[in-house]
Every structure is written in structure tokens, then in C-alpha cells.
Amino acid sequence: MFNYVDIQDSQQQPYGPDNPNATDAGNIGNYSSFEFPTLLHDELSSTMTCRGLIGISNNTVVKAGNTLTFKANSKVHMLNGGNLTIEPDANLVIESGVEFIKDYPASANKIEVNGSMSNCNYVTFNGGTGMAMEVITNNVNNSFMFDHCTFINSAYKGTSGLVTMDNGTFAKSYCSIGNAFPQQNLVYIRYNTFQANGITTYPAIIITGMKKWVVIGNTIDQFPFGVKIWNSGKSSSPYIFSTNAITNCTGTGATFYNSRATISYNTITGNYKGIESLNNSTLYVYGLCNATSVGQTQQISFNTNSQFESTGNFPVTFKHNAIQANNTTSVRVKGINCPANTTYNIEKNYWGNGVTSQQMANILSIIPSTSQFDWDPAWPLGNDCSGGGGIIPDPVRRAADSTYQVGIAYNEAEDYSMAKSVFTYIIYQYPSTQYAQSALYELFFLESKLGSDFNELKDYYENDPVIAGDTAMANIALFMANQCNIELKNYSDAIAWFESIIDNTATFNDTVFAIIDLGYTYLMAEADSMKSCPIGQYEEYKPKSQPEFVAYRDYLLSLIGNDKSVVPQIGRVKQALIHSLNPNPAHESITVNFSVAYNADVVFAVRNTLGQIVIQQPAEHFTKGTHFETINCSTLASGTYILTISINGIISDSNKLIIN
């Protein structure tokens, strides 16, 4: 057996305790062990290359002008809440096969790239137990590309920049791209697999404020919601949603809010709802015109509640889809608060074999009753590509439809001037048709390619006599004129317009949309560095943060979809308000000064930056008025949190909480 003494000099030397030249002045021992040969725990002010087994402890920041490289197949362990931040003008290089691993169960870890990053190929982000790793890319001038990457219990958030996410695997993870301020950058999300594995809150894919986007070939199963597209596609193409398979979601398979999309060749089945279109979305929904079987065309079928539901507008193109259900008594296609006195063309769709005219009356629903669906003739499957559609008996609508397709063709060929001429012609020649209504949206989308004179377009929407003479077009034009206000950054005027809708609208749904759009406009103004943007008369609708806006928005949208066209307005007073936290920053506990608008059961929760609840108080009954509540925070690690107050399960207010 080897013995250390055997190799000593014949003259034995006394050995005492070590006297190290350096002590653990930075307290690194609290964050690591000898297990990690390379430990990153502070600012990096020089370029550095790491390989093998690596630990990130505390907050590691790569300073501007430097590059941090992780060599191929390295294992990067995120320790004790350790975060990695790449400053603007710094660079992160991640070679193939690198794996990021969250080690400490109680912490949330974040990788935030505000500079540049190499293409990520075959990289794994493993958040351990719970969804506790965030990967954030945030630089509007850079491209971020991920190919064959794996996300486990993690969230990817591409807040700005050109993002490509291809061939990835998301296990109990989701992908969110964009933010409140509209961006011209293009986002691709293609051929990824999303498996919920118990996620109960987030959609698989979220896109917000992206003018150009492509979502193709993704497989999504068992999420609460499949895909949500918010305020996106408002430009020239692409705005593509195609060949995705979305199944078994407990909510809606695909939701589009004030967005533009071509929806084609998807399979959306087994969800609670199939597709939902909200608040002036412009959708083109179509399948394969020469399909000889259901499996060859777009399937929006066998969803529990409805197959397609549109509130506020209806797609101008809706054909060659398979719209099936397990019965012929429940509603499959629903239009709510669509423009009145309008006929919507849904000819040439497959409804199943042998569906009668009486049964079609049961499975179609439109409000108001002065509008109607034209579904006849149905599509029996088979080649129907000549002419591109059904037989419209009304010669005016038939001419408007064919002219509209010419405008779309010019747009796709990037002859934007001719496209504008065609859509303007439709407005004057066929003012009472759905095609004239849709042409109003198209003019807005074209303007960014034709000089961006949104002042002139706004004047056209507000003052053209032909538009003013048709009620449906006039209402759409006023909405689009306010969209011009936002493009022109006339935020005060935009805020005032939304508040006028809240005051004067006759429908509940329009009130909901106006409140949501008002909050979103405030977020856009702040993202546009207008921190002093004037606040309108309803300050309670100005969100304190984007998470609060999202929570309130989703609550309001949960009220949409009932078939009531007129219901009481939503109250303008928040149910509960947080007035102060004391102390803040805190260490052991905080005292919350809050008020409730009426007697109610109140729940306080502390959430980490991923939105996960880390502390939740039991529900407690409070009477109307002002109160104080003490919350024990001694178990929380240092960092930033959000305290929320909820009534009836709905977040009413929130406040930032700092633990030191």
C-alpha cells in the first residue's frame, strides 16, 4: 500500500497546520464546494473560457466588451439561486452539448443575455423540480438561434431581437416571445415538441407584439392553452400559423387577440375550444382545396365546447376546413358581436357526412341576429381548387370576394401600391360587405410599407364619407384610427379613446377589450420611455407591472364567450389595493397595509420572478375597509419577489418585495 511517509526525505520534517495566504474574503464557501473546479461568482471583466464541470454561484455578470465561453459538453450547475447576466456589448458562447442544471431546489435561476449569444445547438436547460429556470434574451439588434435544444422545467423568454426556435423539446416548459412594445423583428418557432407534464398555468407558446411571426410544425399536448398570439402580425407578411398539432388542452387550442394570421393545415382536436379570435383580429382560415380525406386538410374538430369562436370580427377567408363534432346539436362555429347586417361566407367546409340544413342551423351561431352565415354549399372533400372557393349566390359579394383575392395576391407579391388601390376600391365599390370591412384592416397593415403616413391614414378613417355612411365600417375605422394614434405615439389620445369606449359602449365584450387595450397602451408608453405619459381618468386601469396586466387581462377574457350581447359594465374600482409594505426591503417579515372594497375572503401570495408561488397565506375573511396583515418571509432567499392580493381567486393588486 502506498504510504506518504515512504517518499519523504530520510530526515523527517515537522508538519504543522496550513497558514493560507488568502482567506475566503468573498464568502465563496457559502456558495460552492471542491466539487466544481471552475466557479463563477462575481463580475467577469475579462474574456474567459470554461470547460468540464462548472458552478455558477451568486450573480455572475459578464461585463461589456468581454466573452464568456462554455466549451462543448460542459455541465454548468446553477447553485443557490445563482444567475448569469450578459451585459450589452458582451457575448456568450455556448458550444454543442452544454447542459445547464439547477441544483438548489428552493431557488429560481436566470440566464439573461442583454448582449449577443452564439447559436445554441443541442443545449439543455434543466430547471430541476418545478419550473425554476428562466432563459431570457433581450437585445433588439441581435439574433438568437436555438436548434435541437431541450428545455426541462424551464421557461424561454425572448423579449426582443430576432428569435429562431427550431426542433426543440419542451418538457414542462414553455416559450414566450415579445413584450409590450411592438417589434419589427421576425420570430420563428418551428418543429418543436411541447409536453405539459403537469403545467397548469402557461400556454406552450406565447407571442406578444411581434409584427412578423411564423409558428409552423409544432406539436403541443395537454397544456392549459396551446398557443396565444397577442397584438401581432400587424405588418406585411409573414404571419403564419401552419401544420401545428394541438391536442388535449384544457383551454383553447389557439387564441388570437387583435392579431393577423393565416391559419392553415393545422390539426386542432380534443381541446376545450379549438380556435378563438378576439378583438378585431384579421384571420385567414383554410385547408387543402384538393384533399380527399379529412387527414389531408385542416382539422378544427372534436373539441369539447366549440370548434371556432370569433368575438368582434369574423375571418374573411374560412374554407376547406374539416369542422366536425361528436353530435349535430352543439354549436361548432360561433360569431359574437360581429358587425351587424353582414353575411359571412363559410362555404366549402366539411361538416361531416349527411349533415342536414336543419342540423346546420343548430351548429352555427351568430350575434347579432341581423347578420348570418352563408354555409351552402358544403364541401364533400375532393378537388375544389378551381376558383378557390364556394358559389356565392349574391353577385355583389361574389365580385367583392374575387377582387379581395386580387388585393391579397398583390400584397404577397410585394406590390403594395397596387394592393392599396385594390382594397380602397373594395371599400368604395362594395361598402356593405365583409370584404370592405376587412379592407380597412389591410390598409393599416400596408401603410408601414408605403411611407408610414399614419396621420393621413387616420384622417381617412375618421373623415371619409363612404366609410362614415356604413355603420359597420365606421366602427372598424374608428378603432383603426386609434391604432394610428398608437403608431404615431399619440398615447394620450389613444388612452382617451379607449376610455370613451369604456364609458359609452353598449356591449360587455367591447368594454372588456377596451380595458385590456387601455392597460396595454400604458405598457407600450412605458416601454417607449414615456415614463411621464399622462394618466387618463381611470387610473385604476393603469397596470403596475406586466405580470399584473397579464393576470387581469386573462381574468377579463375568461368572462368573454358568453352569448350575452348586453350586460352591465365592469366596475371600475379594484376589489383590493395594496397601499404599502413595511419594511421593504425586508428580512424576517413584512406588514402589509391594504384595503378591500367589500367584505371578502383575501389571499396573499409571494411569487418569484418566474411567477411561481413561494409563500401563500391561507384565505382570511376581511370586512370592507383598511387592514394590516403580517407575512413571515424568513424562509426566502435574497432577491426580488412580487406580493399579490387576490379575491375570489383573482389577483386584484401587486407590489414589488425585496428580501435582503
Question: Do 554 and 460 have their domain in common?
Answer: yes
- CATH number for the domain that contains residue 487: 1.25.40
- Number of Cα atoms under 13 Å in the Cβ half of residue 140: 9
98 band by pLDDT with thresholds 50, 70 and 90: very high
Question: Do 526 and 587 have their domain in common?
Answer: no
Decide if 590 is inside a domain.
yes
Is there a contact between 139 and 161 (Cβ–Cβ < 8 Å)? yes
Confidence (pLDDT) at 572: 47
Q: Which of 4-8, 358-362, 518-522 has the lowest mean pLDDT?
A: 4-8
462 band by pLDDT with thresholds 50, 70 and 90: very high
Confidence (pLDDT) at 290: 94
Question: Do 432 and 553 have their domain in common?
Answer: yes
Domain-terminating residue out of 491, 526, 558: 558
Question: Do 549 and 440 have their domain in common?
Answer: yes
| One-letter amino acid for residue 544 of the chain | K
Question: Do 523 and 585 have their domain in common?
Answer: no
503 band by pLDDT with thresholds 50, 70 and 90: confident
Q: Strand, coil or helix: what is 150?
A: strand
Strands (E) in 191-238, as ranges, are: 193-195, 205-216, 219-221, 227-230
Decide if 436 is inside a domain.
yes
In the chain, the number of structural domains is: 2
Question: Do 647 and 543 have their domain in common?
Answer: no
Question: Which residues is 255 bridged to in the sheet?
Answer: 228, 276
Can you tell me the distance from the alpha carbon of 60 to that of 509, in angstroms, rounded to the nearest whole number?
Answer: 47
Confidence (pLDDT) at 56: 92
Mean pLDDT along residues 254-275: 97
Mean pLDDT along residues 548-553: 81
39 band by pLDDT with thresholds 50, 70 and 90: confident
Domain span at residue 455 reads: 428-558
Does pLDDT of 457 surpass 50? yes
Does pLDDT of 264 surpass 80? yes
Higher pLDDT, 11 or 42: 42
The residues, any chain, with a CB within 8 Å of residue 429's CB and separated by 6 or more, are 399, 400, 403
Of 254-268, 342-356, 388-402, which has the strongest mean pLDDT?
254-268
**Residue whose C-alpha is closest to residue 258's, from 510, 527, 530:** 510
27 to 31, 32, 76, 260, 369: CA distances (angstroms): 8, 10, 21, 53, 72
Decide if 651 is inside a domain.
yes
Does pLDDT of 525 surpass 80? yes
Decide if 438 is inside a domain.
yes
Question: Do 517 and 632 have their domain in common?
Answer: no
- Number of Cα atoms under 13 Å in the Cβ half of residue 25: 4
Confidence (pLDDT) at 156: 96
34 band by pLDDT with thresholds 50, 70 and 90: low
Q: What is the pLDDT of residues 570-584, one digit of tens each?
A: 544 467 889 999 999
Question: Do 553 and 639 have their domain in common?
Answer: no
Q: Strand, coil or helix: what is 439?
A: helix
Does pLDDT of 53 surpass 60? yes
Share of the chain above pLDDT 90, in %: 60
Mean pLDDT along residues 606-611: 77
Question: Do 530 and 450 have their domain in common?
Answer: yes
Cell triple for residue 243? 401544420
Q: What is the pLDDT of residues 192-204, one digit of tens each?
A: 999 998 888 889 9
Can you tell me the distance from the alpha carbon of 145 to that of 143, in angstroms, rounded to the nearest whole number?
Answer: 6
- Number of Cα atoms under 13 Å in the Cβ half of residue 346: 25
Decide if 211 is inside a domain.
no
Mean pLDDT along residues 509-538: 85
Question: Do 435 and 544 have their domain in common?
Answer: yes
Domain-terminating residue out of 509, 527, 558: 558
Q: What is the pLDDT of residues 58-90, one digit of tens each?
A: 889 999 999 999 999 999 999 877 899 999 999
Confidence (pLDDT) at 613: 83
- CATH number for the domain that contains residue 610: 2.60.40.2550
Mean pLDDT (the chain, rounded): 87
Q: What is the pLDDT of residues 555-573, one digit of tens each?
A: 788 777 544 433 444 544 4
Confidence (pLDDT) at 322: 97
Decide if 64 is inside a domain.
no
Confidence (pLDDT) at 570: 55
Confidence (pLDDT) at 22: 43
Question: Do 550 and 631 have their domain in common?
Answer: no
Write down the pTM of the prediction.
Answer: 0.82
Can you tell me the distance from the alpha carbon of 143 to that of 7, in angstroms, rounded to the nearest whole number?
Answer: 58
Does pLDDT of 375 surpass 80? yes
Does pLDDT of 13 surpass 50? no
Domain-terminating residue out of 503, 523, 558: 558
Q: Which of 252-266, 456-470, 548-562 has the lowest mean pLDDT?
A: 548-562
Decide if 284 is inside a domain.
no
Phi and psi at residue 591, in whole multiples of 5°? -110, 125
Is there a contact between 153 and 78 (Cβ–Cβ < 8 Å)? no
Decide if 58 is inside a domain.
no
The residues, any chain, with a CB within 8 Å of residue 24's CB and separated by 6 or more, are none
Beta strands 333-336 and 306-311, pairing class = parallel
Mean pLDDT along residues 5-20: 44
Question: Do 444 and 527 have their domain in common?
Answer: yes
Dihedral, CA of residue 618, residue 623, residue 626 and residue 632, to nearest 10? -10
Q: Which of 29-38, 271-280, 356-365 has the lowest mean pLDDT?
A: 29-38
Is there a contact between 645 and 654 (Cβ–Cβ < 8 Å)? yes
Can you tell me the distance from the alpha carbon of 312 to that of 538, in angstroms, rounded to the nearest whole number?
Answer: 24
Confidence (pLDDT) at 506: 63
Confidence (pLDDT) at 497: 96
Confidence (pLDDT) at 386: 65
335 band by pLDDT with thresholds 50, 70 and 90: very high
Higher pLDDT, 35 or 659: 659
